[in-house]
Amino acid sequence: MRLRNALAMLALILLTALQSVHAQKTSPYEYDEMRDRIKRFGTGNAPIYVWVLTGFDALTMPADRRAVELQARIQQVVTELGSEVLPGGRRVNPLGGVILWVTEPGLEILQASSTARRVAIGREWWYDTFLSRENGLDEIERRLRQSANGKVDVEITVDVPGTEFDIDRHTGEASQLIQTPEQQRTAVQSALALLTVLGVPMYPPPATTASGAITVLDISGVERNGTMLLRANEQGLAELAGEQRGIIAMRPVGYLPMRPANISAQPYGNPQGAGQTRVSLSLKRAYMTSTPASVAPYRRSNQRLLDSVLDPYTVIGTPQWGSDFSYIQPVLSDADVERLLRSGDQRLQAISIEKPTNRTGPAP
């Protein structure tokens, strides 16, 4: 009984705390920060988190009723905002909030709205993405911050299930290998589906979404490797990166990773023969895809690439492979390890030199 009463009291305290958070819509500091964010890139809008349900509602309403009430209140806020909210880039939190792209006058409307319980700055466009940062998301952010018009040109890659991929040895640039007419048709269908979801008009580029957040510049790469060139502002980048609409990679136009592999040494309990060293090699993660049709081609691509990495060297014995073939442990001569380290192979993410515990001196 005491435990039940204690839990009930704790729940009441939490609910009260959540309600008190919503009681104050936003602090003067937060309001100034949101207003500055809107003005920062000269686009006149920014992502704003609008909570339309109280903490009490979120925790006590049945899920089905909460979902209906949430959509109704979001629509009410959107109606109140009118032209001061953009049509795209909306992300709903099922517990009671939504990210809206709002203008500065829209902030005033939200402050006066009885439906908006709390208002806060939305997360950065890349916050929820599963896209690999290896392809230059940080560089996209840097270019966006320096852009005079608040827009940046990006190359996106749509998922074409069943295709393998390659990584350039000298630049680290990844590309899908579309090799059959069927794969070309799949690539076109994937690109059209993406453009439809984004609301891009179906006529030749340049075509722009109604919100102006995304402009299609070039689609000629779709049949070649599943790529399109787009121009996007922060809202557009959030739509591309956050929703994972069949996009497996996004990088700034002209960007090449060109990052050397991380090199480390670690002890290994079973020494190799004289003048021999076991090394662990990991590939860079080219694309982020987990569809069942992509698993086998992904493994084949990894194995082909690591075989190619090791082709110039003499592998001693049988190497050990990781389960998805993105990782391999071969034994090489010390001389070959030196050559590998000097090669600067951009396909590799990491090289770990496993130094036998009975060997003195530095690892090769």
Dist CA 352 CA 279 (whole Å): 6
- Asked if residues 166 and 254 have their Cβ atoms less than 8 Å apart, the reply is no
Tokens of 273: 């023969």
Q: Which residues pair with 87 in a beta bridge?
A: none
pTM across the whole model: 0.68
CA dihedral over 330, 332, 338, 340, signed as positive or negative: negative
Rounded CA Rg of the chain = 26
Q: pLDDT tens digits, residue range 216-229? A: 999 999 999 999 99
Dist CA 70 CA 52 (whole Å): 7
| Check whether domain 262-356 has CATH 2.60.120, yes or no | no
CA dihedral over 227, 232, 236, 242, signed as positive or negative: positive
2 pLDDT tier (thresholds 50, 70, 90): low
- Asked if residues 167 and 305 have their Cβ atoms less than 8 Å apart, the reply is yes
Q: pLDDT tens digits, residue range 174-209? A: 899 999 999 999 999 999 999 888 888 766 667 888
User: Can you tell me which residue has the tokens 């996009």?
Assistant: 247
Smallest CA-to-CA distance from 82 within 100, 57, 97 is with 100
CATH 3.30.70 residue ranges for the chain = 262-356
